Amino acid sequence: MNPIAYGEAFSPWEPGIFSLIIYSILVLAFVASQLFIASWLGEKRPTPEKLRPYESGIIPTGSARLRYPVPFYLVAVFFLVFDVEGAYIFTWAVVSEELGWAGWLQISFFIGLLLVGLLYIWKKGGFDWGPTRKKT
């Protein structure tokens, strides 16, 4: 596979940036036109029943705001961070032989940054979810 020269990248006859830009513009124009046509032709008769929030067929009562404890959100954020980390590390593991020492140094730096972030969260008390015990 040969790299595409700078002049060929914008040529309409070669696959490259130019064709990607044209395709993106056409897709965005199509989506915008469909949204405009739907809003223009759509029927607009707001009634109290249509303006009520949809709750799976159940008439909503009371406040919709529930108080979730902070650890719930911390677990969700930590899961996302470590899930993305796992995806990067598994991807690196698949091509580790081809990347050689340069790839090993880069993934080591990445894991090191994650460990620094983990230690920072630990020192700031991000893992202290329950009540604290008094030391006697």
pLDDT per position as a tens digit, 93-126: 999 899 899 999 999 999 999 889 888 888 888 7
pLDDT per position as a tens digit, 62-91: 776 777 777 778 878 888 888 888 888 999
Q: Would you call 28 exposed, middle or buried from its count of C-beta atoms within 10 A (0-12, 13-18, 19+)?
A: exposed
Which phi and psi angles does 63 have, rounded to 5°?
-80, 140
Among candidate residues 18, 19, 15, the one with its CA nearest the CA of residue 4? 15
Say yes or no to pLDDT of 135 above 70.
Answer: no
CB-CB contact of 9 with 16 (8 Å):
yes
| Predicted local confidence at residue 106, as pLDDT | 93
| Predicted local confidence at residue 64, as pLDDT | 67
Alpha helix positions (H), 42-131: 48-51, 70-94, 96-123
pLDDT per position as a tens digit, 14-67: 666 777 888 999 999 999 999 999 999 988 888 887 787 777 777 767 776 777
Task: Spell out the residues 6+ positions from residue 104 whose beta carbon is closer than 8 angstroms to its own.
Answer: 96
CB-CB contact of 33 with 26 (8 Å):
no
Q: How many residues does the chain have?
A: 136
